[in-house]
Each structure stands twice: as structure tokens, then as C-alpha cells.
Structure 1
Amino acid sequence: MSQSNVEISQEELQLNPHLKEKPDTLTRIFFRKFLKNKLAVVGSIILFIIIMAAVFAPLIAPYSYEQQNLIDKLKPPSSEYWLGTDRYGRDIFTRLLYGGRVSLLVGFGAVLGALIVGVSIGALAGYYGGIIDAILMRVVDIVISIPSFFLLITVVTIFKPSVGNLILIFALTSWTSTARLVRGEFLTLRSREFVLASKTIGTKSYKIIFSHILPNAMGPIIVSATLLIGSVILAEAALSYFGLGISPPTPTWGNMLQDAQNYTVMLTAPWYPFFPGLLILLTVLSFNFIGDGLRDALDPKSLD
């Protein structure tokens, strides 16, 4: 009897070779879906290179980002200056590396702060509902009704635009979309069976929020955060371009563009504004591509 069973199982394996494969897990399904999105994979590779270059800037940069040499100002790309020099003779490659550290730090720090505020408010509004939901959502509506870029300009002109202040300002003006998203997820999940069962056995509300509901809402939150990082980096570059961001000599991609906006510089040294603009474009596009890939990979309704 056992021999026939073995023979049958071998025949089944021959007819169905997929039976030999390991059973799918959520992690395997996630990576399989994500890797199918070619743009998300390319964006991940580009973003990894940019982040590593920024992190290890002191080891990679051939010069100091403050080092000036007026004799070599506006030099084109060469073996000595890989991406050329700016109008003060500073190495553009070096300043791009250090500028990436500031831009990425502001992006990640601001989104982390926005997530803390947005998730907290959205979770409370969605879980408790009623008067709490009404009050918190009216606060969200008031913040949304204020033009965000003009609010940023107003706050930046009042406070000195340091890295810490920019992170705080962007965090306090970027949390509303996260709050609405989390509220919607909590309104859907709070009526599920596992939440009702937890309430029945007397589980504390904060444990239900953070241990049961929030983990099930992390997918949309991660996607939203990924897209928001690109938006913050773009907004920081815009502020710096208008002279309201981090002040030179500390480099950011935005103030490098602002420094290159001189008409003569753009005609005689087009490589100067090109490289920081290219890095802003690649970084923002990479975050958007990764966000699209995460959305597809975390969506249970998408085809495998």
C-alpha cells in the first residue's frame, strides 16, 4: 500500500511539477509582484546608488564642498573636475554629494514626522468616530484649505531655515493626506471580526489600535509615505531655488540651481544647472516608481 502511494505521488509530481516548489508566503508574493514592475526595480537601483553616494560623501568626494578656486571657476567636466565647477570654482560633483545628504535628510525626516502626526490623528478619528472624528477632521480641513507652498514660505521667512526647522515645517504641513488615508482604513477595519473579538474579551483600545488595526493598514501608509518623500524633496528644492531654504555655503540641490540661475552662467556653463536638476528629477521619479511598485505588490486584489 505504501509503495503504491509513493508511485502515485511521483506520478502527481511529474504531472504537476509546481508541487515541488516551496509554498508561497506573503513575502515571496510581495517580492514577485514588486520585481514584475520594471520601473520600480530601476527606481530602487537608482535610489540605492544616490543614497549610498550621499551617505559616503566624505569618502567619495575629491574636494571639500566649501573649497573655492576662482582660477578654475565654471570649468567644464574633466578628469580633474568630473562634473565641472561652479562660478566660485567649487567642485560640482562634491557639492552634489553633500547636497544629496541635506535633501534626503529633509525628505526622510519630514515624512517620518508627518507619519507620526498623520497616523495618530487618523487612527483616533477612524477608531473612535463621533465627535472626536468630527473635530479632528475639521482640523484637517482647515490645514488643507491653506495653500501649502505659501504657508511654507511664510513660516520659513519667520524662522531661520536650518535643516531641523525645515524638517519640522514640512512635517507639520504634510500630514493631512496621511491622516485622511489612515482614518479611511480604520473606519473599514474597526468593524472586522478580529477587532470585535478583541473588544469582546476586554482588550484595551490602545492595544487594538496599535497591535491589531494599524499593522493591517500599513500597506497604504507605506505607499503614501514613499510618494510623499519625493514631494518633500521637490518642495525643499523649490524653496532653496527661491532663496528661502538652506543658505550657502551648505549645498543642497535646490540652492545649487538657484546659484546657477544667472543667464550668463546658463549660457556659458550649462552643465552647472543640469546636474542638480537631473538628480532632483531622478530622485523624485525613483520614489514615485517605487511607490507604484509597492502599491501593486501590497494590493491583494492585483493579479499575481
Structure 2
Amino acid sequence: MAQPNLASGNQIELQGLSAKADTLGKIMVRKFFKNKLAVIGAILLIIIITAALCAPLLTPYHYETQNLLKRLAPPSSEHLLGTDTFGRDIYTRLLFGARISLLVGFVSVLGAITIGTALGALAGYFGGIVDAMIMRFVDIVLSIPQIFLLITLVTIFNPGVDKLILIFALTGWMGTARLVRGEFLSLRSREFVLASKTIGTRSMTIIFREILPNAMGPIIVAATLSIGNVILAESALSYLGLGIMPPTPSWGNMLQGAQSITIMLNNWWVPTAPGLLILITVLCFNFVGDGLRDALDPKINE
């Protein structure tokens, strides 16, 4: 009697799983590309990020270079977007300011997502006193208006890129914690989790290797949407003089230098360039977040 070829059967099963994963990936990509605004947003973000990284190669000026003889000069071939009140090239400061604004956005959201995911996972998986303690702390922090909390913390610590990143990371994880907790509450009773518990798998392994990968979709979407919010918050703080301090450029402090009504009326290019770039960047992150939400949601058909 011929023995069944187990190796061949396992190989066929692995190929089937690989094909299924490949199919799911293609479905998500197709769903994302069906959202035209998300595609446009992704393309514009790639252009903005690439320009920020290549800033020294795209402009002959340094962001601190001043020419008081050409202060508030209108856009020209020499200064594509004109100059500010100190005669600094606005185009150059936009590129280098994009580095600061995007750095604050990406790194602080990475920190906030990491903290929120870890605490939300612990609360959702263990429940009980662990869940109660974490969620009550989240409720207390969320009861404080975020702008007042940010202003208070920034006032206590001297403004700077590193301190802003730390402050945004420590004050922006609560929403992610709630989101991850909800996902874990729904996933911890699934069959694959119960099977892992039955064979004696450690809790940390179940949390980070079994449940967390299945909750990554909402986390990725939340992170994408949060970056735009952090860029807005950083711009608001810098506009108020509590964020990135000149001469280091950021989109927020570029607007601060153009807040005079005289400049707004007579030298429109000074506030227009950073204001438009903030608007476009935040909209693009929101569009990409919406596209990712549709692509990662299995309930939405192609």
C-alpha cells in the first residue's frame, strides 16, 4: 500500500497560503488605487518628502542667508517664491522647513503609536484591573484640552525639535490605545488565540505575534491620519512662538513672520507659500489615510 506523500501535501498547502496572501495583497492595492484622491495624495507626499530630503541640492541658498537689500522681494527668477522680511529665500526655507515639520510629524507619531499600541494591547488582552487603570488614565488625560496641555508642557520645557517630538509622543498615544484595546477585545476570544493559550504559549507571544498582526490595519490608518494632525499642531505652536524657534525654519514659524496685516495685504507671497504647503500636506495625509482605511477594510468590496 502506497504511503501518502506528506512533504508534497505540505508544499501544496504552503503554496496555497502564499497564493492567498498574494491575492489579498493585490486586492488591497487595487482598492487603494481605486481611490483617486488617495493616489494623488500619495504622489504629492512622495514629491514633498523627496524635495525635503534633497533640499541642499534644489536651492543655491542656505536657509539662514539674509540679504536686507532684497527684503520682501516678490517672486522672480532669482527667488522663485520671493523673500521674507529678512531677505531670506522663501523657497529655500520651505524646503528646509519641510524637513523639520515632517520629522516632528513622523517621529512623534511613531513614538505615540508605539506607546498607545503597547498599552492598548495590555489593556485589551488582560482586562480587569490592568484595563481599568490604563483606561482611567487615558480618560483623565483626554479630559484636558490638548492645545492647553501642549502649551503648558512647551512652556515648562524650552522649545526645540527634540522636546516637541517627545511632547507630541507623550500626549498623542491615547486615541491609539483606545483603538488597539477595542481590537484586542474582539480578537482575544478568537479560535487561534484560544488554541495558542491551550498549547501553553506565553501571553507576550500571543499579544505581539498572534493578535497584533491582525490589528495592524486600523493602527496604520490611525498613524497616517495622526501625522497631519501633528504637523498642524506643530505649526500652531510655532506660529504662537512656542514651537521651533528661528532661525531654524518650520512652516509654522514662517507663518509667524508673516502675521502682520501689512505683510499679508502687500506681500501676499510671504504667508501664502507656507500656508498652502501646510494645507496640501495635511490634506494629502488625510486622503492617504482614507485610502488605506478602504484598502484594509475587508467589508468594503472592490
If the TM-score is normalised by the length of the shorter chain, which range does it land in?
A: over 0.9
Question: Which residue number corresponds to residue 124 of structure 1?
Answer: 122
Question: Which residue number corresponds to residue 75 of structure 1?
Answer: 73
Query: What is the percent sequence identity of the aligned residues?
Result: 71
What's the offset of the Cα at 1:25? 1.1
What's the offset of the Cα at 1:27? 1.2
**Residues 142-192 of structure 1, C-alpha deviation per residue, up to 9 Å, x if partnerless?**
110111110100111111111010000001111000000000000000000
Question: Which residue number corresponds to residue 7 of structure 1?
Answer: none
Question: Distance in 2 between the 1:265 and 1:224 partners?
Answer: 37
Alignment pair present for 1:180 and 2:178: yes
Question: Which residue number corresponds to residue 31 of structure 2?
Answer: 33
Question: Distance in 1 between the 2:260 and 2:132 partners?
Answer: 50
Question: Distance in 2 between the 1:48 and 1:59 partners?
Answer: 17
Alignment pair present for 1:290 and 2:288: yes
Question: Which residue number corresponds to residue 58 of structure 1?
Answer: 56
Structure 1 residues 38-53: aligned runs within 5 Å: 38-53=36-51
Question: Distance in 1 between the 2:250 and 2:107 partners?
Answer: 15
1:264 to 262, 265, 271: 262
Following superposition, which runs of at least 4 residues in structure 1 exceed 2 angstroms of deviation? none
- Return the TM-score normalized by structure 1: 0.92
- Return the TM-score normalized by structure 2: 0.92
Question: Distance in 2 between the 1:86 and 1:268 partners?
Answer: 12
Structure 1 residues 134-145: aligned runs within 5 Å: 134-145=132-143
Question: Distance in 2 between the 1:160 and 1:261 partners?
Answer: 23
Moved more, 53-62 or 278-287: 53-62
**Residues 82-131 of structure 1, C-alpha deviation per residue, up to 9 Å, x if partnerless?**
00000110000000000000000000011011011100110000000011
Question: Which residue number corresponds to residue 88 of structure 2?
Answer: 90
CA RMSD of aligned residues (A): 1.0
Question: Distance in 2 between the 1:263 and 1:302 partners?
Answer: 48
Question: Which residue number corresponds to residue 158 of structure 2?
Answer: 160
Q: 1:64 corresponds to which letter in structure 2?
A: H
Question: Distance in 2 between the 1:123 and 1:185 partners?
Answer: 8
Which segments of 5 or more consecutive residues in structure 2 lack a partner in the other structure?
A: 1-18
SS in structure 2 at match of 1:251: coil
Question: Which residue number corresponds to residue 147 of structure 1?
Answer: 145
Question: Distance in 2 between the 1:299 and 1:281 partners?
Answer: 27
What's the offset of the Cα at 1:197? 0.2
Q: 2:115 corresponds to which letter in structure 1?
A: V
SS in structure 2 at match of 1:25: helix
Question: Distance in 2 between the 1:72 and 1:181 partners?
Answer: 52
Question: Distance in 2 between the 1:218 and 1:61 partners?
Answer: 39
User: How many equivalent residue pairs?
Assistant: 283
What's the offset of the Cα at 1:61? 2.0
Q: 1:111 corresponds to which letter in structure 2?
A: V
Q: 2:254 corresponds to which letter in structure 1?
A: M
Question: Which residue number corresponds to residue 17 of structure 1?
Answer: none
What's the offset of the Cα at 1:233? 0.3
Alignment pair present for 1:189 and 2:187: yes
Question: Distance in 2 between the 1:271 and 1:282 partners?
Answer: 16
SS in structure 2 at match of 1:217: helix
Question: Distance in 1 between the 2:214 and 2:59 partners?
Answer: 43
Question: Which residue number corresponds to residue 250 of structure 1?
Answer: 248
Q: 1:256 corresponds to which letter in structure 2?
A: M
Which segments of 5 or more consecutive residues in structure 1 lack a partner in the other structure?
A: 1-21
Question: Distance in 1 between the 2:186 and 2:265 partners?
Answer: 56
What's the offset of the Cα at 1:59? 1.2
Question: Which residue number corresponds to residue 6 of structure 2?
Answer: none
Question: Distance in 2 between the 1:205 and 1:62 partners?
Answer: 56
**Residues 246-294 of structure 1, C-alpha deviation per residue, up to 9 Å, x if partnerless?**
1100000000000000111112210110000000000000000000000
Question: Distance in 2 between the 1:84 and 1:35 partners?
Answer: 37
Question: Distance in 1 between the 2:80 and 2:63 partners?
Answer: 14
Q: 1:116 corresponds to which letter in structure 2?
A: T
Q: 2:102 corresponds to which letter in structure 1?
A: L
Q: 1:217 corresponds to which letter in structure 2?
A: A
